[in-house]
Amino acid sequence: MGTSGTRLPFVSFRNSIGADMIPLSAKFSYSLTHLPFQEDDIRDLLGAPVTALPPTLVSMFSQVSVLLVPYLELANGHQRKPTEDDYVVTFERPAEAREVTSVLLVEPPSATIAIGAKELVSADFHYEFYHQISFLAAQLCDESQLASYQALVREELNLHVHGEVDEDSWQAKQVLLRRGTKKLKLDTKAFREYAHQSFVDTMTLYLHGICCDIDVEPGPRQIPSRYLRRRLKALRDLFPPPDGHALFPEDQDKISKPERP
């Protein structure tokens, strides 16, 4: 399908895949378009990340299709709330102002994750996959699950905890803080948007940490480790890792050295 220079509307491209999806697990399938990936590559890029997903999280999903394409482009440049009609699959790298790495489209009960994978290394691919899975989780979580996380970030705000997990949640936090401290206790649109983005970014880190040995890089915008650890523990309680996987070193020790009977 397609040659160099081809640009395909994303909706048309997605609809054309159809029966070409390759099963990966009971709930995940994928397609591969003009990418030189072999079976070992797919095992590393998708097989391992899917296997590491918490079972309670996977149980929330219906069918998730993962489309691996060379590049993704926003036809009209970056917008605050683009629609599926704004995305294009392209076989040549678009201009930086138009390029996006991944996108999630939810059409209940199914979801599609597309990843522009031609120039991504394994770690970046895993991040994009887990980031979109986290957006999907945020849409499917029930109110009690989201409320428990919101309570954590609201407490952090009241304690004037600095920093966040990633750039998007940092920016959302700054928008909220500019509204004034008197509004931090209110259930405002700015708070809900911040709590949502914070959940997505922290969930991304949690899922990535289950799958891979990753480091959190320190920096002036990074949330202090004790608060980050508390968030990760809360997500671990909500979505325990699958058998054979762990997040914290002390949990990994229990897996690698089981107690003798």
Query: What's the whole-model pTM score?
Result: 0.92
Which of 85-89, 213-217, 257-261 shows the lowest per-residue confidence on average (mean pLDDT)?
257-261
Give dist(CA 169, CA 166) in Å, integer.
6
Tell me what the mean pLDDT of segment 87-100 comes to. 93
240 or 179, greater pLDDT: 240
Q: Is the pLDDT of residue 3 over 60?
A: no
- Mean pLDDT across the chain: 90
Domain ranges, ordered by start, for the chain: 7-120, 143-248
Q: Is the pLDDT of residue 261 over 80?
A: no
Q: State residue 254's pLDDT score.
A: 66
Tokens (6 digits) for 232: 């990760």
Give 63-84 pLDDT, tens digit per residue. Answer: 999 999 999 999 877 666 788 8
